[in-house]
Structure 1
Amino acid sequence: MAEHVVRGGPPRVPATGFDPGGQAQSPEAATPAVEEPVVVDPAVVTYDDDPSTERALLLESQRIARLGSWMLDLDSGEIYLSDGLRSLVGVGRDTAIEELAALVHPDDRERLAEFRARVHAHRSTQPVEVELRDGDGDRVFLVRARTIRDQGERIHGTVQDVTKVRHLERLLSQESRLFREAQRVARLGTWEWNTETGECLWSSMLYELGGVEPGTPISYSDYMKIVHPDDRGWVDQRWQELATTHRPVECEHRVIRPDGKRRVFRIRGEAAGPDGDPVVMIGTAQDVTEQRSTETRMQRSSKRFTDLVAITPVGIGLFDDAGRLVDANDALCSLLGMDLERLRGMTADQLTHPDDREPRRARAFQSGQCVLMAAAGKPVYCELTSTVSVSDDGQRYWLVVFADVTDRRRAAERLRYQATHDELTGLPGRAAVKELLGKLLGGRDFDRIALLFCDVDNFKRVNDSLGHDVGDELITALARRLERGLPPSCTVARMSGDEYVVICSDVAEAGGVEALANTAAGLLRTAVPVRGQLLRVSACIGAAVPSGPETTGADLLRYADAAMFAAKERGTGRVSLASAALIASANSQMMLEGQLREAIANDQLILHYQPVVGSDGTILSAEALVRWPHPERGLLMPGDFLPVAEQGDLLGELDRWVLRAAFAEASDWPQLAGGTLGGGVGIAVNLGGLVPGDPDFVDTVSAAVAATGLSWDRVVLELVETSLIDLPSRSREAMDELVERGVRFAVDDFGTGYSSLARLKELPAQIIKIDRRFVSGVATDASDFAVARALVDMARAMGRRCVAEGVENATQFHVLRGVGVDAYQGWLMSRPLPAERFRELLKQGPVRIPNGA
């Protein structure tokens, strides 16, 4: 097939009256409101005495009408586009027909092919037309064409931009639809009545309300036939008054529809406007059957209320302003075990059980909870709901509903037990431990108390190798051994994971704290049969006793915890007692915790930044790393104070400080093209205490972003792998909400937690950070290389990005780049830098990465 080439000037064609510019129109005709698009037939164009003037007028008309013409010579393959068409679609003079087809929206190209086939096969003088959208779908063009066969075969056509026309048509259609929907929702129709001819016009909704077949001719007499016979006389009189006086009329009457259904119509009518026909009345008709039915029901509700009070199973009492019971239903009498005559005149104080010691004055009038006293003195736990009402004689009274919640209270106590006890073992949990220690240390015999902190050795290896189910069975078995083997004065509790606490209220009964600790160690040094195999375990135990009457439960836990860590330093299965030196060290840690708390509150911490770079050295983001310039101990690294923060429950506050400080610093960084998303260098913050499950997680991040003006798409929040496993729905919802705003989540140290590579699919994160322990051996250890490659392949398949941590030499870098790692972080690129030095690094451009090892 000959190549179709667009030529700039008119083609060589026989003199058929065709003007390539198209047929001229007046400007008024070229700008219709909501009319059919302008049609220009190039075959009927004529010229006046001055062709150049005619052509100029024609082109101006095309511009005004947003229209252009074209012609395709099928013999030569040449195609001509008018100036107006080239301007309309934005193409040049040398555009091929294939390029024109490429401007069409992909979804419309099949219709374009069908249009071409129809044009080639068309034999009529009437044009073939099709509507097509541009590539973005924002504009609509009407294309018309026909084939002319005279001394050759040519296709003449026009293209007109009808976007505004179609938009107006859609608006009109939408307004019409909204008007119909409004009538449907309000069950309201419109009407028009010619008082001379009696003819009526009803809207479609009014036909539906009246139960009349749509389109049926309606007259005034037809309307009167559906009016209820008992209402017909006065209704006719009202409408005749309207016809005579032209004063607006409003009335309600009953209707009997042709299908026999009875309805109530509320009708408004008035004369047409000043520009309308004086004999024409217009108005609305609304079906108000349900409203009137509701009013009728309301009128009957008073008696029903009285009946309801009498038969309801919930106790209801009426009290006067003095707080005396004046009436009660049978349910309240049954609840309290007394008849109405005995109850009448009793006050709220008299009805309340003595154990409920709060003031009873006017208590019955307040919503809340109380304990009532039944006839036999039995307590009855109730929830109260009260309101002030007025009787028919104007007397004010209190209506109080008493709901018996005794059974619910018992259920709540069971729930409280579950909340304070470990679900797996049934042992008391952390909250119960704190409560019990508070009671024991507050008594006179505080010096007889001892506490053991037990940690199972190498328990993580059991979970990793045999699975969590086996680990759970082992934890439960050890809990039962401790319960059975320790003296009665001991309470065994589970703090978390593989940690047990033993609280002894009489250490003398156990033979002293050392003997008690050795007994517990012996119970935990055993072989436990689990699923057909014996698991040999041991535990390190730290023991502590109060150092004085001022010792708190938190102090005792710290001392025993510190002693346990001292035992672990000596090996497995060891026992250590909290000595004076150890207690002093623990107190020193406590002091450090207080200093850290003060440093966070007073902005005495600083941040260093380590860049994350692409394979070409471009800085994509930077991880914020916290440092503590201690006034006495110098610059402390995270490893020096993060354990203190964790012990003192300060990790959340520390995370909040880092978020605020890092976002503030990053908002003022010099921005480089090609940052995290091409919009600037990202800032990554590793969260340890602030997690998605916290109720204020989203608000905290949002407040930090809002306070600094940082762009959402520059924020990267890093979470360790274990915090992303088995996320509750609330955590996932919080993460999804931030992701929608542009935040990305990164899994830090992936592959080192409890999950397998298959877990990668479930993690709601966009970035995977390969742990440094795999990176360090990626060039020398086949296993590390295989892990890195598997991580990259899985991440890419699931749309995640991979960042390698701890890249220290060029060999590691090149191996990782070979397997497809997206970004790199480590000393090869840069050590963590103070804020000012990192800003200088940003200004220098891409980081140079050495080629050699």
Structure 2
Amino acid sequence: MNRSLAHDQSFGYAELLSHWSYETFLAHVHPQDRDRVADSFAAALHGRGKYHVEFRVVWPDGSLHWLLSRGRSLHGPDGRAVRVAGIVCDITDAKMLELAAHETASRFASVVDSMADAVVCSTPEGVITGWNRAAEKLFGWRADEVIGLSVTLLLPPDRTHEARGLPEGMTGSQPVGEVEVVRRRRDGSLVEVSVVWSPWRDAQGDVVEMIALARDITERRRMERALQHQATHDALTGLPNRALLADRLDQALAAASRSGGPLAVLVLDLDDFKVVNDAAGHAVGDLLLVETAQRLGSALRPGDTVARFGGDEFVVICTDADADAAAAVAERLHEALGPAMEVEGQRHHVTASIGIALSPPLRGEDLMRSADVAMSDAKSTGRARSRLFESPMAERAQSQLELSLQLREAVTTGALELHYQPVVDLTTGEMTGVEALTRWNRPGRTPVPPSVFIAVAEQTGLITALDRWVIDQACRDGAAMVASGLLSDRAHVAVNVGVRDVCDALVVSMVVSSVAAAGPGFGYERLVVEVTETAMMNDSDAAQQALQELRDLGVGVALDDFGTGYSSLTHLQRLPINVLKIDASFVRQITEQAHHLAITRSLVDLATALGIRTVAEGVETREQLHLLQRLGCAAGQGWLWSRAVPLAELGEMLQALPQGRFDVS
């Protein structure tokens, strides 16, 4: 073989070797490359003519080097190839760079393929050139199915217009910020993804490829929507809450202002729902609220909004609704609540008082306030009805607010006073007890009737403080009456207690503390607690248990104003009472109305059969007295003998009576 010094140096020799043959050449070639090199030379000699081969050689010191050999075959006179001639170059440095670049690219491809985010590469025209395993998992297509296709493949049918913005977004000079978009999967389903585009540039700065990182944010967005819903909707009923209501009301008012159309707001408050809650339990109460919300929603017009304002109060926004339309909506709401609700095997009747206010005013808070005032008016005038706001209502509401503030001060400063009305034995004329009645005489001002300030106390929550004061003062006065001899051995002091304190069982602790404070002269047997039918006829287990605890202490329990709920007669035998008070409305009519007389006779007969003492209220005439005596009624009270008087006046009156007895002849 003819060769140069450079040739032998390529094989690691500093000087030209004395002997070099084709076999010597092949012996220096790396064993793994030897056949490939021999095949290249053979191909050149047997017809191909030219050859080009890269191979490794082992230097004498054992190191590996890369060589490039290229050349062509030489032919004899007969045209046959007889030898090859070419050059050999050491390309070790270039080859090392190439191998390093290949290894880096391979490593990069492995990293991209193992990324959790989907990686989609594309040309500036939007042709897909790269697609990692995460992209296959996210979108459902394999890489070999999408390479060469347009990225518009991922656009949902209703978002194909986004394709117009892709080239501009992909060739921008800066990376595109993170965007959240909806994309299509292979199965046609949609997925919410967060995408970041970044350009890949060549040495001249031209964009040659775009790389997009896509991350599935479906679950994150679902949680965000859930949190947003929780922030704007009531957890129990699913209705819009107070915050969302305010926003929708502002929007509705703005729309009404632009269009000049009417707008109505209805405030709806369930009647006596606390009693139902206490009687059946909060779990049942919650189920009733859910059913109520569903019924209200079904009664609305399209476009109207019902929201839970809090507790048992709901608000309805009626767009494009004048007074007549709003009244019609209110009527449908009443009708929707009409049928009984059956929860856990029990039937419950839910009614509501509804207040209606119309815009203007154009401020939501003013509209809400007016509707609330109208609702309070509906509740105070009978409940289960609707009222349209009128200016006098606001004046009454302001007056009631002032009255409630004055009442709160009167309760805390002791400005109230107890008067006592005698309870008379209809056979002997003996005073068997007194009923304590609260009076509010404001110095220099008109006295406030009990029917007014007690209603205010119940509406404002002052009733508990009022009841506590009444029981405490009555026990103290009772102890004084016992000490002075005004009360006989079997005489009692009766106090009236509100529904709330009976249902909440607060009455027991009030009685215990007040009797203890009154001293040893006034025991439990001297006290009678009067409760109305409302407190007892709602099947309130808590109320009945509280009253039974009072009976166990020795306290008497009287059912007051009985007769107005005649259907409750069948329940009388299971109530923990020992006194039945016949309502004055029946007593006034017994001498004129046959059916009132029949009802009164039935009440007396039933109570007597059950061992319950009867007391007739509102006795005003001798004729009424004589008829009650014939019916067998045990006792009575009324103006025939005395109105309710201060304690000092009661003592003077009793001292003036012959033998200390009232006339029952």
Question: Is the Cα contact below 8 Å between 2:524 and 2:554 reproduced in 1?
Answer: yes
Corresponding position: 1:542 with 2:347:
no
Q: Specify the SS of the correspondent of 1:635.
A: coil
Correspondent of 2:437 among 625, 650, 655: 625
Corresponding position: 1:503 with 2:503:
no
Q: Indicate the residue corresponding to 1:285 in structure 2.
A: none
Q: Indicate the residue corresponding to 2:508 in structure 1.
A: 698
CA distance in 2 between partners of 1:444 and 1:490 (Å): 9
**Shift in CA distance, 377/662, structure 1 to aligned 2, threshold 3 Å:** farther
CA distance in 2 between partners of 1:821 and 1:549 (Å): 60
Larger mean CA deviation between 772-781 and 727-736 belongs to 727-736
Q: Indicate the residue corresponding to 2:454 in structure 1.
A: 642
Q: Specify the SS of the correspondent of 1:778.
A: coil
Report deviation, 1:453. Answer: 4.0
2:502 counterpart letter in structure 1: P
Corresponding position: 1:490 with 2:305:
yes
How many residue pairs get aligned? The number is 397
CA distance in 1 between partners of 2:364 and 2:466 (Å): 29
Q: Indicate the residue corresponding to 1:184 in structure 2.
A: none
What are the within-5 Å matches in structure 2 for residues 197-596 of structure 1?
A: 436-437=241-242, 440-441=245-246, 445=250, 448=253, 451-453=265-267, 480=295, 483-491=298-306, 503-504=315-316, 510-512=319-321, 514=323, 517-521=326-330, 523=332, 541-544=354-357, 551=365, 555=369, 558-562=372-376, 564=378, 576=388, 578-596=389-407
1:36-61 deviations in Å (ceiling 9; x for gaps):
xxxxxxxxxxxxxxxxxxxxxxxxxx
What are the within-5 Å matches in structure 2 for residues 122-271 of structure 1?
A: none
Corresponding position: 1:849 with 2:663:
yes
Question: Is the Cα contact below 8 Å between 2:544 and 2:575 reproduced in 1?
Answer: no
Corresponding position: 1:599 with 2:438:
no
CA distance in 2 between partners of 1:588 and 1:645 (Å): 14
CA distance in 2 between partners of 1:502 and 1:809 (Å): 49
1:169-207 deviations in Å (ceiling 9; x for gaps):
xxxxxxxxxxxxxxxxxxxxxxxxxxxxxxxxxxxxxxx
Report deviation, 1:378. Answer: 10
CA distance in 1 between partners of 2:569 and 2:323 (Å): 46
2:250 counterpart letter in structure 1: D
**Shift in CA distance, 834/523, structure 1 to aligned 2, threshold 3 Å:** same
Q: Indicate the residue corresponding to 2:25 in structure 1.
A: none
Correspondent of 1:667 among 471, 474, 479: 479
Ranges in structure 2 where 5+ consecutive residues have no aligned partner: 1-216, 221-229, 254-262, 272-286, 341-350
1:519-554 deviations in Å (ceiling 9; x for gaps):
4145358799979xxxxxx99853137979795999
CA distance in 2 between partners of 1:486 and 1:555 (Å): 23
Question: Is the Cα contact below 8 Å between 2:591 and 2:597 reproduced in 1?
Answer: yes
Q: Indicate the residue corresponding to 2:563 in structure 1.
A: 751
**Shift in CA distance, 840/529, structure 1 to aligned 2, threshold 3 Å:** closer
Question: Is the Cα contact below 8 Å between 1:441 and 1:549 reproduced in 2?
Answer: no
Q: Indicate the residue corresponding to 2:496 in structure 1.
A: 686
CA distance in 1 between partners of 2:265 and 2:365 (Å): 12
Q: Indicate the residue corresponding to 1:840 in structure 2.
A: 652
CA distance in 2 between partners of 1:478 and 1:377 (Å): 31
Which structure shows the higher helix fraction?
Answer: 2
Report deviation, 1:630. Answer: 2.7
1:589 counterpart letter in structure 2: Q
1:849 counterpart letter in structure 2: D
2:663 counterpart letter in structure 1: I
Question: Is the Cα contact below 8 Å between 1:768 and 1:795 reproduced in 2?
Answer: yes
**Shift in CA distance, 582/447, structure 1 to aligned 2, threshold 3 Å:** farther
Ranges in structure 1 where 5+ consecutive residues have no aligned partner: 1-375, 380-412, 422-426, 458-471, 532-537
Taking every aligned residue pair, what percent have the same amino acid on both sides? 31
Q: Specify the SS of the correspondent of 1:625.
A: strand
1:518 counterpart letter in structure 2: A
**Shift in CA distance, 730/838, structure 1 to aligned 2, threshold 3 Å:** same
What are the within-5 Å matches in structure 2 for residues 640-789 of structure 1?
A: 640-670=452-482, 679=489, 681-709=491-519, 710-753=522-565, 755-789=567-601
Considering only CA atoms, is the larger Rg found in Structure 1 or Structure 2?
A: 2
Larger mean CA deviation between 803-812 and 687-696 belongs to 687-696
CA distance in 2 between partners of 1:560 and 1:812 (Å): 42
Q: Specify the SS of the correspondent of 1:661.
A: helix
2:417 counterpart letter in structure 1: I
Question: Is the Cα contact below 8 Å between 1:489 and 1:504 reproduced in 2?
Answer: yes
CA distance in 1 between partners of 2:338 and 2:418 (Å): 50
CA distance in 2 between partners of 1:447 and 1:656 (Å): 47
Report deviation, 1:490. Answer: 1.7
1:514 counterpart letter in structure 2: A
Question: Is the Cα contact below 8 Å between 1:521 and 1:539 reproduced in 2?
Answer: no
CA distance in 2 between partners of 1:729 and 1:540 (Å): 26
**Shift in CA distance, 417/769, structure 1 to aligned 2, threshold 3 Å:** farther
Question: Is the Cα contact below 8 Å between 1:772 and 1:804 reproduced in 2?
Answer: yes
1:83-122 deviations in Å (ceiling 9; x for gaps):
xxxxxxxxxxxxxxxxxxxxxxxxxxxxxxxxxxxxxxxx
**Shift in CA distance, 740/520, structure 1 to aligned 2, threshold 3 Å:** same
Larger mean CA deviation between 705-714 and 801-810 belongs to 705-714
Q: Specify the SS of the correspondent of 2:564.
A: coil
Question: Is the Cα contact below 8 Å between 2:266 and 2:355 reproduced in 1?
Answer: yes
TM-score when scaled to structure 2?
A: 0.51
Question: Is the Cα contact below 8 Å between 2:532 and 2:562 reproduced in 1?
Answer: yes
| Greater RCO (CA < 8 Å, at least 6 residues apart) | 2
Q: Specify the SS of the correspondent of 2:654.
A: helix
**Shift in CA distance, 602/519, structure 1 to aligned 2, threshold 3 Å:** same
Question: Is the Cα contact below 8 Å between 1:599 and 1:605 reproduced in 2?
Answer: yes
Question: Is the Cα contact below 8 Å between 1:453 and 1:564 reproduced in 2?
Answer: no
2:615 counterpart letter in structure 1: V
2:576 counterpart letter in structure 1: P
2:508 counterpart letter in structure 1: V
TM-score when scaled to structure 1?
A: 0.41
CA RMSD of aligned residues (A): 4.5
Question: Is the Cα contact below 8 Å between 2:242 and 2:307 reproduced in 1?
Answer: no
What are the within-5 Å matches in structure 2 for residues 784-823 of structure 1?
A: 784-823=596-635
1:314-364 deviations in Å (ceiling 9; x for gaps):
xxxxxxxxxxxxxxxxxxxxxxxxxxxxxxxxxxxxxxxxxxxxxxxxxxx
Q: Specify the SS of the correspondent of 2:642.
A: coil
Report deviation, 1:640. Answer: 2.3
Question: Is the Cα contact below 8 Å between 1:451 and 1:560 reproduced in 2?
Answer: no
Q: Indicate the residue corresponding to 1:97 in structure 2.
A: none
Corresponding position: 1:613 with 2:418:
no
Report deviation, 1:749. Answer: 1.1
CA distance in 2 between partners of 1:598 and 1:441 (Å): 34
**Shift in CA distance, 529/790, structure 1 to aligned 2, threshold 3 Å:** closer
1:60-97 deviations in Å (ceiling 9; x for gaps):
xxxxxxxxxxxxxxxxxxxxxxxxxxxxxxxxxxxxxx
1:197-228 deviations in Å (ceiling 9; x for gaps):
xxxxxxxxxxxxxxxxxxxxxxxxxxxxxxxx
Report deviation, 1:830. Answer: 0.8
Q: Indicate the residue corresponding to 2:150 in structure 1.
A: none
Question: Is the Cα contact below 8 Å between 2:242 and 2:310 reproduced in 1?
Answer: no
CA distance in 2 between partners of 1:377 and 1:512 (Å): 40
Report deviation, 1:693. Answer: 2.9
**Shift in CA distance, 841/482, structure 1 to aligned 2, threshold 3 Å:** farther
1:544 counterpart letter in structure 2: A
Q: Indicate the residue corresponding to 2:44 in structure 1.
A: none
